Amino acid sequence: MPQQRPYSQVDVFTAQPYLGNPLAVVLDGAGLNEADMQGFARWTNLSETTFLLPPSPEAAARGADYRVRIFTPGGELPFAGHPTLGSCHAWLEAGGTSQAPDRIVQECAKGLVQICRDGTRLAFAAPDFTRKNPSPALLAQVAHALGLTAKQVISAQHLSNGTDWLGVLVDDRQTVLQLQPDHPALKHLGVKVGVAAMDSAPAAPDSIANHLEVRAFAALNGINEDPVTGSLNASLAQWLIADGYMPAQYTVSQGTCIQREGRIHIRQDARGQVWVGGDSVTCLRGTALL
């Protein structure tokens, strides 16, 4: 029998409401089955909807404070970035208390994700990822669908950290902002594409920028352009820092072309762990009949 469940809608990667990436959070998902969750996520029609649950006994023994299930309108994700920060923000706001004084530990299908307070912001530890070179044929097809020339592409990598992206680094911020992708073509190619550019392309191998402009195209998941994307920026950071394109600390702008002002704060600590941080603000609070 449906019941009223506490519900929040959180804007993530912004301190100002309605300029980030919205997230629906059902704060008590107990008793809901996968079909219930998927149906509600389809109804909200947001890029992600999350459902909070008690951690599994095994995860709780390893320090997990809560469990989250993450759904797009089309299916469940093992991990995603803005749902991680937004869910943690809503859980803390609802009175959640972590086992450890300096960390919140989230259980998701990908595993355990560490979250820390970075000043007034929350930041999650980028999960382990894999990377590989795309085939030249696929990269050429993606570049064509994006309207890019081969000369504009600096580098590209397949990136996977629980969700898969083709990351493409291009020559200039204006190149990113002026893209008009062929979304049906990208969907046909079966890839989600993240395009990034430094404020200015390096003039020499030791010349790096400290700001990145990013756009994320996910027609494959029914989202032509995602406003602000934590999972993509996590794996982009791991790749771009490791290969010397970006420094150990930088900021990201995303959403510019769709009237958003998303800001992501990237930091690699002394142990090499990349942290992905941002502000969150609750825009709606109430109950959902589920």
> Which amino acids are annotated catalytic?
48
Quick check: 204 and 155 in contact, CB under 8 A?
Answer: no
Q: Show the CA angle centred on residue 182, arms to residues 179 and 183, nearest 5°.
A: 105
What is the Cβ-side half-sphere exposure of residue 193, based on CA atoms within 13 angstroms?
33
Query: What's the angle, vertex CA 171, arms to CA 273 and CA 19, rounded to 5?
Result: 65
Are 199 and 209 spatial neighbours (Cβ–Cβ below 8 Å)? yes
What span, in angstroms and rounded, lies between the C-alpha atoms of 167 and 144? 15
| In contact, 126 and 161? CB cutoff 8 Å | yes
Does residue 86 sit in helix, strand or coil? helix
Contact yes or no for 130/234 (Cβ under 8 A): no
| Structural tokens at position 118 | 């970075």
Three-state SS at 89: helix
In one-letter notation, the amino acid at residue 155 is S
